[in-house]
Amino acid sequence: MMIYNYIACILLIVLGLYTVCTQKNLLKTIIGLGITDYGINLLIVSSGFNDGGSVPIYQMSDLLNGVSSQFFVDPVPQALTLTSIVIGACVNAMALAIVVMIKKKYGSINVDDVRRLKG
């Protein structure tokens, strides 16, 4: 089952990078960044998944018995994903803020017009 997750996340990452590399509209570039992020997040969260696993919480009975009979989902990737989502949101917010200011200053959000620094 997991293979679909991996295929999906690779597709998302490649799609995002393709968008960043080809789209001339700055907003679309940022959307591309977002898509890449989602792909990576999917990859991370998939990495902790166990088919049929339980929630990663110890039951009192487990602790009393000393061993966990059940195989639970790895909680670390979920924490990582949350962090990564937050960071991605921040990046997007900041990029969008800059794009708004670029629109005010340059009067355009086309990459071909925003190229005063070159050479």
Partner 1 sequence: MIQHFPVLAVMSLFLGAFLVEIFGTKREAVRNAITFVTFTLVLILLYALIKPVILEGRVISYWMGNWEPVAGYAIGIGYEVDALGLVFAIIAITAFWLSNLYSFGYMKGEHHLGHFYTLFMMLCGSIIGFCMTGDLFNMYIMVEIMTFSAVALTGFNTDKDGALEAALKYLVICSVGSGFILTGIALIYLQCHTLNIAQLATMLAGRLTPTTLMSFGLIVAGFGVKSFMVPFHTPLADAHAVAPSPISMVLSGVVTKAGVYGMIRCIYILFRAMDLTQMQILITTFGTVTMFLGVSMALKQHDFKRLLAFHSISQVGYILLAVGLGTTLGLTGGIFHAANHMLFKGLLFLAAGAVLHQTGGITDLDRLGGLSKKMPHTTICFLVGAAAISGIPPFNGFASKWLIYQAAYTKAIESGNFYYLIVTIAALTVSVMTLASFVKITQAVFFGQLSEANKDVTEAPKVMLVPMYIISALCLITGVGYKFFASYFVLPAVNSAVNVTNYIDVMMGDGYAAAAGVSNMAADNVMISSWSPVVYLILFVTVLAAACIVILASSGDRGRVVEVTDKDALKHSNFFSGEEPVYSHVSGSDMLWGYKHNFKAYYNIMDKIHTGRMTDYCSMVVIAAAVIIVFMFMFMR
**Which parts of this chain interact with partner 1 (CB under 8 A)?**
13, 16-17, 20-24, 26, 29-30, 33, 36-37, 40, 43-44, 47, 74, 76-77, 80, 83-84, 87, 90-91, 94-95, 98-99, 101-102, 105-106, 111-112, 114-119
Name which of 60 and 117 has its Cβ closer to partner 1: 117
CB of 99 to partner 1, least distance (A): 7
The end-to-end CA distance of the chain, in Å, is: 49
Distance between CA atoms of residues 63 and 28, nearest Å: 51
CB of 4 to partner 1, least distance (A): 15
Q: Residue 83: which residues within 8 A CB-CB, separation 6 or more? A: none
Q: Residue 54: beta bridge partners?
A: 72
DSSP state of 25: B
Amino acid at 21: C
CB of 96 to partner 1, least distance (A): 10
In the chain, what is the greatest distance between 2 CA atoms, to the nearest angstrom? 69
CB of 89 to partner 1, least distance (A): 12
